[in-house]
Amino acid sequence: NAGVTQTPKFQVLKTGQSMTLQCAQDMNHNSMYWYRQDPGMGLRLIYYSASEGTTDKGEVPNGYNVSRLNKREFSLRLESAAPSQTSVYFCASKSRGTDTQYFGPGTRLTVL
Amino acid sequence: AQSVTQPDIHITVSEGASLELRCNYSYGATPYLFWYVQSPGQGLQLLLKYFSGDTLVQGIKGFEAEFKRSQSSFNLRKPSVHWSDAAEYFCAVGAGGSGTYKYIFGTGTRLKVLA
At A37-76, the pLDDT tens digits run 998 888 999 999 988 889 999 999 999 999 998 999 999 9
In angstroms, the CA B57 to CA B64 distance is 6
CB contact under 8 A, A99 and B101: yes
What average pLDDT does this structure show over A27-41?
92
From CA B42, how far away is CA B63, in angstroms rounded? 19
Q: Which helix (H) or strand (E) holds B64?
A: strand B64-68
| pLDDT above 80 (res B29) | no
Q: What is the DSSP letter of A21?
A: E
Q: Answer yes or no: do B90 and A100 touch at CB < 8 A.
A: no
Whether residue A42 and residue B9 make contact (CB cut-off 8 A), yes or no, is no
The residue-averaged pLDDT of A6-16 equals 96
| Percent of chain A whose predicted confidence (pLDDT) is above 70 | 99
Our CA dihedral for B9, B14, B16, B21, rounded to 10 degrees, sits at -10
Name the residue facing B107 among A33, A42, A103 (closest C-beta).
A42
Going from the C-alpha of B63 to that of each of B56, B94, B100, the distances in angstroms are 11, 20, 30
Among A4, A40, A101, the residue with its CB nearest the CB of B103 is: A101
Confidence band, pLDDT 50/70/90 cuts, at residue B28: confident
Considering chain B, what is the average pLDDT of its residues?
A: 91
> Are B44 and A103 inside 8 Å of each other by CB?
yes
Residues 46-75 of B with CB under 8 A from A: 46, 49, 51
Position B11 scores a pLDDT of 97
Chain A residue numbers touching B10 (CB-CB < 8 A): none
Specify the pairing of strand B10-14 against strand B109-114: parallel
Average pLDDT in chain A = 93
